[in-house]
Structure 1
Amino acid sequence: MADRLTADFKAEPYWWEAAPLGEVAGGALAPAYDAVVVGAGYTGLRAALVLARAGRSVAVLDKERPGFGASRRNAGFLGRTLKKSYIDLKAATGAARASAIYRDLMAAYETTMAFIAEEGIACHAVRCGRFIAATSAGHYALLQRELAGMQADLGLPYAMVPRARQREEMASDLYHGGAVIPDLGALHPGLYHRGLMERALAAGVAIFGRCEVTKVERRGGLLLITTAMGRTQARDVVVATNGYTPKSL
């Protein structure tokens, strides 16, 4: 594989150049917190920030250095899509349920953009729009059907770009046209994560890296959390590890 890589290849994500991973100040776990959050990515840090600003004592525990995982290893797209398309979701769950789920996605997108602006997080967040290229004529037709349904049900904007006008969006003739979604956005994943970390720490959140959670068990009215740094307990536990979630949790 080495012969396929350029001489300046780096294994670390590009986003880490502007926002290097750092070690969080050490120290021991407190005997108890109001809430413990497992995972120091976007979801975990945002949850911890909300809890801390509401007056709760909060610890965030991560197996790696905070930001080591997916939050700083993505393309920086801001959107409102799921693994399952809107058409497929309607078929699987019904129109009302699919619409409700996608409206939650719409609200999450707007909430994130508003949060970044209100907090003044300098992470190059912008509503730049997105061109989705069709890999075949069939894909173009599927895109048109999907987006037309979302516009009819949810009011979401889009514009189809036929192959003859494709170069208005990209310098390539490889694809079969595509679709422009004008209000989608992008940000710098590393800078956004760093901004969340800074605000969580300022709000009093205790963040522990290299502190893997191996077990969460209920003891009376509390939850006992076993970690690589010892045990603590909390009234509530938020598991925010997504694809990194072990079977033990």
Structure 2
Amino acid sequence: MTASAFPTGTGATSAGGPAGTPAQAANILVVEDEPAIATAIAQRLSAEGWRVEVARDGLSGVEAATRLRPDVIVLDVMLPGIDGLEVTRRIQAEQPVPILMLTARDDETDMLIGLGVGADDYMTKPFSMRELVARVKALLRRVDRAAQAATSTPTDPPMVVGDVVIDRAQRRVHRAGEEVHLTPTEFELLVMLASSPKTVLTRERLLAEVWDWADASGTRTVDSHIKALRRKLGPDLIRTVHGVGYAFEPPVA
């Protein structure tokens, strides 16, 4: 059947999926003020069978996220009204959702700020639609894994490595008794590193296991997420092995 379009709010338009879309198709919110880019993204994502709504400015994006409860948000940084960073803060404060941030500036500082306020991934304009779809699919797989973990009966006790406690069932992290709020991607990255303490994991392996990427084109993404983790957990937990990858090495008490 044809996926029905969501009702639209101020500044928003909607795009339904093609015939044959499953009833439980993912809901994607695109927040982009450039009409040509917004239309191209919406059409490409709709062709995957996902239900897509487009908001044209920051305030409309926040309103649409509250109303739709989307599975993934594709969000431009430069928006009229309030920018994508503030949109991310407001959305994540209400209910965490995976956010793929789009930026026109290839500046790592901007990318780290985006990750710091709650984005899970980022892409620099111009980008290929094929890669955009791949990134969204990876985020949806993580959403599915998190949902399965939330509904399953926990059998594993929390991981305790040094003064870091990782509760995989509740997806919560504490260090030295203080809770640390991580994005879904940061959480999965930390779990993978902490599961093999003192073991050097390559960027390529981290990409494959955490991001579901089959190639090494996103190693810079790994580096940026590691920096975001260090900002939240402290610089002493993750060791860089130059040219190879990273190792989780909590300090000895």
Alignment TM-score, normalising by the size of structure 1: 0.20
Alignment TM-score, normalising by the size of structure 2: 0.20
**Higher RCO (CA 8 Å, separation ≥ 6 residues):** 1
| Structure with greater Cα Rg | 1
